[in-house]
Amino acid sequence: MTHPLRVIISGGGTGGHIFPAVAIANELRRRLPDTEILFVGANGRMEMTRVPEAGYKIVGLDITGLQRRLTPQNLLFPMRVLRSVRKAGKLIKEFRPDAVVGVGGYASAPVLLAATSQGIPSLIQEQNSYAGLVNKLLARRVNRICVAYDGMEKFFPREKIVLTGNPVRSEIATGDRAEALKFFGLDPNKKTLLVVGGSLGARTLNLATAAALPRLREAGVQLLWQTGKLYFPEAQKLAEPYEQDKLQALEFIQRMDLAYAAADVVVSRAGALSVSELSLTGKACILVPSPNVAEDHQTKNALALVGKGAAVLITDEHARTRLYDEALRLLADTERQHQLSARVLELARPQATTAIVDELLKLIPRQQ
């Protein structure tokens, strides 16, 4: 191969897909700086803004998912898939990638279908303990499947699976606490709670946090509260009277490295990316799995930590009544924070991104 390496990375929809994709791209560029990378996402989804913010070019497909009930959108679905596969095929012929990576999400399917039809080496990165529909459907067509959990042979051909862990942005665990406190305007003498409901926010966490604002002020606790776009206007109004108490509502936290560095305790959903980041940063955490996911896989993700004494679990249905009792107890118990931190660090896979790029490069015929 005489030209610079060319790779297409496809998928998105949520931060759980987008940030691993960017981590893979960053590792490729770190090793082979002249690598040409093209992202392919779904128009109207968050990757269309987040990927350019990370410094990469992205092209959008007009593709959506199937709705669970009969809607006009579902009737148009086959036509959209066909158009997206055609556009993806055209992109592949124009860009001429040496390999294609799919990270899950709507745009991943047409790109991987087009790539495998043209015999281009292809790799899937599955973040969750329960495989996504797109990845399950395409598993037999691709060359390699990188997973983060044991037992994934129930979804994928065993001979294609490599256990790598989830790719996490390398800088996520390098935040400096002093810089973080200054960045967010926090008091170094107070405990800090970080609440994140994923990149799109989480209704249960938002409602529980809104109700707990007076208790947090009374306890002298600082708050970094990522609300997501939909709830942010309301959360901003509710948090405004508490600004002097360092209780902050934020739509989206771009500098998660600093947010983790500032936090003494983290309250989070149990998506695959969140669990991987919490493990890598070694944060004492309370996990509130989302009930609105396939096969309740967030509970499985959470139990993988709880079973090893590395996290606290509060169910979604009990979050409104129990979450902040537990959060305030944990914030007041420094010894327990240290125990949880030490145990969650043991579960981290800091070399996951390196391992995935290793597998990708093995698929590409190199110049002798």
* pLDDT score recorded for residue 168: 87
**Separation CA 220–CA 196 (nearest Å):** 20
Contact call for residues 38 and 59 (beta carbons, < 8 A): yes
**Separation CA 192–CA 68 (nearest Å):** 40
* pLDDT score recorded for residue 23: 93
* pLDDT score recorded for residue 33: 96
Nearest CA to 48 out of 35, 62, 32, 66 is that of: 62
* pLDDT score recorded for residue 293: 81
272 assigned to a ligand binding site: yes
Ramachandran region, residue 162 (left: φ > 0; alpha: ψ -120 to 50; beta: rest): beta
* pLDDT score recorded for residue 128: 87
- Structural domain boundaries of the chain? 6-166+350-362, 171-345
CATH number of the domain located at residue range(s) 171-345 in this protein: 3.40.50.2000
14 assigned to a ligand binding site: yes
Contact call for residues 142 and 335 (beta carbons, < 8 A): no
273 assigned to a ligand binding site: yes
Contact call for residues 262 and 192 (beta carbons, < 8 A): yes
* pLDDT score recorded for residue 75: 45
* pLDDT score recorded for residue 129: 83
277 assigned to a ligand binding site: yes
276 assigned to a ligand binding site: yes
Domains 6-166+350-362 and 171-345 are alike in CATH topology: yes
192 assigned to a ligand binding site: no
CB-based contacts of 82: which residues, under 8 Å, 6+ apart? none
Ramachandran region, residue 246 (left: φ > 0; alpha: ψ -120 to 50; beta: rest): left
Ramachandran region, residue 228 (left: φ > 0; alpha: ψ -120 to 50; beta: rest): left
| DSSP, residue by residue, 139-155 | TTTSSEEEESSTTGGGT
pLDDT tens-digit readout, 289-336: 999 887 788 998 999 899 999 999 999 999 999 999 999 999 999 999
CB-based contacts of 333: which residues, under 8 Å, 6+ apart? none
- Report how far Cα 27 is from the mean position of its chain's Cα atoms: 17
In single-letter form, the type of residue at position 110 comes to P
Share of the chain residues as helix, strand and coil, in percent rounded to the nearest 5? 50, 15, 35
292 assigned to a ligand binding site: no
Tens of each residue's pLDDT in the chain, 368 residues: 568 999 999 988 777 889 899 999 999 999 999 999 999 999 988 899 999 999 999 999 987 654 444 455 544 455 667 787 888 899 999 999 999 999 988 889 999 999 999 999 999 999 988 888 889 989 999 999 999 988 899 999 999 999 999 998 778 999 999 999 999 999 999 999 999 986 667 999 999 999 999 999 999 999 999 999 899 999 999 999 999 999 999 999 989 999 999 999 999 999 998 999 999 999 999 999 999 887 788 998 999 899 999 999 999 999 999 999 999 999 999 999 999 999 999 989 999 999 999 999 999 987 33
* pLDDT score recorded for residue 67: 43
* pLDDT score recorded for residue 143: 98
In single-letter form, the type of residue at position 116 comes to T
* pLDDT score recorded for residue 306: 94
Token pair of 204 as six digits: 């249960």
220 assigned to a ligand binding site: no
* pLDDT score recorded for residue 32: 95
189 assigned to a ligand binding site: no
- Considering the segment(s) 6-166+350-362 as one domain, its CATH architecture is 3-Layer(aba) Sandwich (3.40)
Interstrand relation of 122-126 and 99-102 (parallel, antiparallel or unpaired): parallel
